[in-house]
Chains A and B, each alone.
Chain A
């Protein structure tokens, strides 16, 4: 019987996932499971990239472990990489200004803030 050729959908992309202690996490790690508190309330969604502030918050919430993506490309510390830092600024501003994209003053303010913050890097 002739063997069938592989199609792209035959392949599963396996993203290595690792459970780590919170004090082992670094800014730039991406959480690969939803992070919830002891009562199950959602704190962060899966896919959130950790920042220094988020890690401090998790410590405040007494979270001890999180699942992170272990793909090498994900483990970029934005504080060490200017491109990643610039991307993190824009991502953060996009989140803060999420409701304002159609507003001319707010869009201009978002861009001005982006330019200013990147200029300080």
Chain B
């Protein structure tokens, strides 16, 4: 049986205390956030910050010129990339890339990182594809929310390692979903732990809420329900298409509340799966970032 909200809050507080040195916001992202909130900042200012890290600048250009964005002309400068794709898209590319970098060195034989990132990229791509279908405006936010929906697993693996391994073992032995095993082993789930860290990193409230509620979209706050429903179903689609693995081998049943917000009929599913599959293929170049 699940815990009451107050108990979850209490347990999370204890976990936050247990995590010695909760991962800090990567400095590059802090600088980007600061610039984005400055109404006077120009594309050139943002480009200057990105270009101060040549590896990051080259990643941004690789992403911008990939099939994922399908631009007809080659973009060769970061300033040009910002002008074409906008501040938010560039910030999200930086966000994805810095988070890949922060976590790429951890190893756990029970928890395959490449499979984890494949699943995360697939979920991001599926969320972007569903967002397009639903006429959503903030497609990049949906991509990043999908990319980061399971980030709590990486935090748990790094900071609550033994308990996380125990949860992985329970999920494997009982063939259940990992979040159910986590609830049993440490009382909260990767969704809540991920939201805790993303909140600390000052990511948007919407993004934090989507990550917190992706396994339980009916409790998402007003204003974030459609995005939560999208990421919830994107996670399911990534599992159905067997792209990567988030540490378990089962698929959650789609929430009725989420399904009704997605405006889909069961007859649409073949088409949706085709669109999502193509978007996942285009997004897989993000895997280069972890190599």
Binding site for B on A (CB under 8 A): 41-42, 57, 60-61, 92-93, 95-100, 103-106, 108-110, 112-113, 115-117, 120
Given A60-B112, A104-B266, A109-B269, A96 and B277 contact (CB-CB distance below 8 Å)? no
The reply to whether B251 and A100 form a contact with Cβ atoms under 8 Å apart is yes
By the criterion of a CB under 8 Å from any partner CB, how many residues of chain B are at the interface? 24
Q: Which of B109, B254, B259 contacts A60 (CB 8 A)?
A: B109
- Whole-angstrom distance between the Cβ of B217 and the nearest chain A Cβ: 14
Q: Is the CB of B236 within 8 A of A109?
A: yes
What are the 7 tightest A-B residue pairs by CB atom distance, in nearest-first order? A113-B240, A112-B269, A108-B266, A112-B273, A112-B270, A60-B109, A116-B273
Q: How far is the CA of A9 from the CA of B266 in the complex (A)?
A: 49
Which residues of B are found within 8 Å of A57, using beta-carbon distances? 112
* Cβ of B239 under 8 Å from chain A: yes
Which one of A61, A99, A109, A120 has the greatest number of beta carbons of chain B within 10 Å? A109
A96 CA to B175 CA, complexed, in Å:
10
What is the minimal beta-carbon distance from A94 to any residue of chain B, in angstroms?
Answer: 11
Q: Interface code B168-202, partner A: CB below 8 Å = 1, 0 otherwise?
A: 01000101000000000000000000000000000
Q: Which of B209-266 contact A (CB under 8 A)?
A: 236-237, 239-242, 249-251, 253-254, 259, 266
State which residues 45-65 of B face A: CB under 8 Å.
Answer: none
When distances are taken between beta carbons in the complex, the residues of chain A under 8 Å from B21 are none
Cβ–Cβ contact B250 & A96, under 8 A: yes
Find out whether the CB atom of A113 lies under 8 angstroms from the CB atom of B259: no
B5 touches A (CB below 8 Å): no
Choose among A95, A99, A108, A112 the residue with the greatest number of B CB atoms under 10 Å from its CB: A112
Per the bound structure, the CA–CA distance linking A41 and B237 in Å amounts to 31
The answer to whether A96 and B273 have CB atoms under 8 Å apart is no
Flag whether B274 is at the interface (Cβ < 8 A): yes
Q: How many A-B residue pairs have CB under 8 A?
A: 63
Most buried by B among A92, A104, A106, A113: A113
Could you list 19 examples of A-B contacts with CB < 8 Å? Answer: A42-B173, A95-B249, A96-B250, A97-B240, A98-B175, A99-B250, A100-B253, A103-B253, A105-B269, A106-B253, A109-B236, A109-B237, A109-B254, A112-B269, A113-B240, A113-B241, A113-B242, A116-B241, A116-B273
Rounded to whole angstroms, the CA-CA distance of A108 and B169 in the bound complex is 30
Cβ-defined partner of B109 (8 Å) among A42, A61, A97, A116: A61
Q: Are B266 and A96 in contact (CB under 8 A)?
A: no
Given contacts A60-B112, A116-B274, 9 further A-B contacts (CB under 8 A): A96-B240, A96-B242, A97-B251, A104-B266, A105-B269, A108-B266, A112-B240, A113-B242, A120-B277
The reply to whether A113 and B173 contact each other, CB–CB distance below 8 Å, is no
B253 engages A99 (CB within 8 Å)? yes
Inter-chain CA distance A96–B240, complex, in Å, is: 8
- Whether the pair A98, B250 counts as a contact (CB closer than 8 A) is yes
Residues of A within 8 A of B239 (CB): 96
| A117-B270 in contact given A96-B250, A106-B251, A106-B253 (Cβ < 8 Å) | no
